[in-house]
Amino acid sequence: MHAPAIIFDHVTVAYGRGRKRSEALRNFNLRIARGETVALLGPSGSGKSTALKALAGFVRPVFGTVRLDGEDVTDLPPAKRGIGVVVQSYALFPHMRVRDNVAFGLRARRTKSDRIAECVDDALAMVSMSAYADRYPRELSGGQQQRVAIARALAIRPRVLLLDEPLAALDAQLRLSMIAELRQLQQSLPDTAMLYVTHDQSEALALADRIAVMRDAELVDVDSAHNLWTRPPTDFTANFLGAPI
């Protein structure tokens, strides 16, 4: 396996002070290799989205460090981390055509226009949305909007791709279709580390090389999907995955 692209080293995120202090993430340690997909799996409030935000730079740890490719990025602004983020709500600009939505991050980085066109075309092709480049978000289905959101994240050529409950807003049939497409996307990005946040066990089992199970702001177990399913190390993991004990 490749060297770690992502390292969480004893990361703690807390809000408030004194008696009102609340830890949203506690002593979190995790390494993710380049080309590896790790799913953060757990119930609501378990700390999985907080871990993603700490990696993206949206929240700052009160203790510990976050490293990307060996670089300490704990205090680095989000825009300078080289990370692509896909969220549940898609967050597409309704007044922009698909092409301009995908180009948004590149323009924010003052990328040259010819390079923008190349990166946008490549990203749309990766998610099979090239034919929809001139449409507006309102003219797309939910699955198509999600593909555009993924293309926007990929257009900046990120070293890390973060997906926060990306399929939660889709119906069951479309979710299965998108899982298959995400599998294909993984194959086309062999050097990109992915962190996938979900509370859906089937998504984690289908997509992740390893699953990190979280509970009450802490990492409970981390292993391959096969090992966690066949030999769950804790009762919580067994019950949460629905695995045989």
Contact indicator for 57, 96 with CB cutoff of 8 Å: no
Domains of the chain: 1-24+37-82+160-245 (3.40.50.300), 92-158 (no CATH)
To the nearest 10°, report the CA torsion of 209, 215, 217, 219.
-40
pLDDT recorded at residue 16: 86
- d(Cα 112, Cα 218) in Å, to the nearest integer? 43
CA Rg, the chain, in Å?
Answer: 18
| Enclosing H/E stretch for 67 | strand 63-68
For residue 108, the model assigns a pLDDT of 87
Bridge partners of 194, per DSSP, are 37, 161
pLDDT in tens, the chain (245 residues): 566 799 999 999 999 887 788 999 999 999 999 999 999 999 999 999 999 999 999 999 999 999 999 999 999 999 889 899 988 888 899 999 999 999 999 998 888 988 999 999 999 999 989 999 999 999 999 889 989 999 999 999 898 999 998 888 777 777 888 888 888 888 888 889 999 999 888 889 889 999 999 999 999 999 998 999 899 999 999 988 876 55
Query: Is residue 49 helix, strand or coil?
Result: helix
Angle subtended at Cα 132 by Cα 128 and Cα 136, rounded to the nearest 5 degrees: 135
Tokens of 195: 């962190």
Q: Tokens for 42?
A: 């757990």
Q: Are 153 and 106 in contact (CB under 8 A)?
A: no
- Spatial contact of 103 and 116, defined as CB atoms under 8 Å apart: yes
pLDDT at 2: 61
Q: Please write down the HEC assignment for all residues of 105-168.
A: HHHHCCCCHHHHHHHHHHHHHHCCCHHHCCCCHHHCCHHHHHHHHHHHHHHCCCCEEEEECCCC
Contact 85, 166 (CB under 8 A): no
Please name the residue that has the structure tokens 């997909």. Answer: 37
Q: d(Cα 136, Cα 141) in Å, to the nearest integer?
A: 11
The predicted model scores a pTM of: 0.89
Q: In the prediction, which pLDDT does 53 show? A: 96
